[in-house]
């Protein structure tokens, strides 16, 4: 009975020669896919932040308006402009303005909903869309005047 010949470390190194290249070829597509998914998640997070910012800007614009009709129009125009300047394309944009407390010392609440397609994120053709919704409330200044139905200028000592 003959024992197998002992292999030298040099022989083992020759057998493994080139295996790192094969491993890299097999792992590289997975790493690229992982990086693209991370970029897509980052872009979706940025879109969510832009919708938050648009809601805040729209509520502020509505709180500065002099009447409820102007407040609603200003809120929608401001939300659209904020999203357009951030290069956010909404498949469906909805801006709702709650004017139930639209008076000096009251508040105005704006909710912005934007449906963004996932297919354009980071060269991945992900199916579907995500609806991002944000709501912000802005106070109306107590000393503001010229509101419809207020009958006073809103300034202290103005007699109204």
pLDDT above 80: residue 151: no
Are 89 and 132 in contact by the 8 Å Cβ rule? The answer is no
Ramachandran area for residue 55 (φ above 0: left; ψ -120 to 50: alpha; else beta): alpha
Are 123 and 160 in contact by the 8 Å Cβ rule? The answer is no
Predicted confidence (pLDDT) per residue in 43-94, tens digit: 889 999 999 999 999 999 999 998 999 999 999 999 999 999 998 888 889 9
Q: What percent of the chain has pLDDT over 70?
A: 75
Predicted local distance difference test score (pLDDT) of residue 10: 60
CB atoms within 10 A of CB 63: 22
């Amino acid at each position: 009975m003959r024992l197998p010949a002992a292999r030298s470390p040099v022989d083992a190194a020759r057998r493994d020669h080139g295996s790192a290249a094969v491993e890299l070829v097999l792992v590289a597509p997975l790493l690229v896919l992982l990086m693209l998914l991370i970029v897509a998640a980052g872009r979706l997070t940025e879109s969510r932040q832009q919708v938050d910012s648009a809601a805040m800007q729209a509520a502020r614009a509505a709180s500065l308006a002099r009447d409820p009709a102007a407040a609603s129009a200003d809120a929608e125009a401001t939300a659209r402009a904020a999203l357009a300047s951030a290069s956010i394309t909404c498949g469906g944009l909805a801006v709702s303005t709650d004017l139930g407390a639209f008076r000096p010392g009251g508040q105005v609440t704006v909710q912005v909903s934007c449906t963004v397609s996932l297919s354009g994120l980071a060269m991945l053709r992900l199916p579907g869309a995500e609806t991002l919704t944000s709501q912000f409330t802005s106070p109306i200044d107590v000393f503001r005047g010229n509101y419809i139905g207020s009958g006073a200028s809103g300034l202290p000592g103005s007699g109204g």
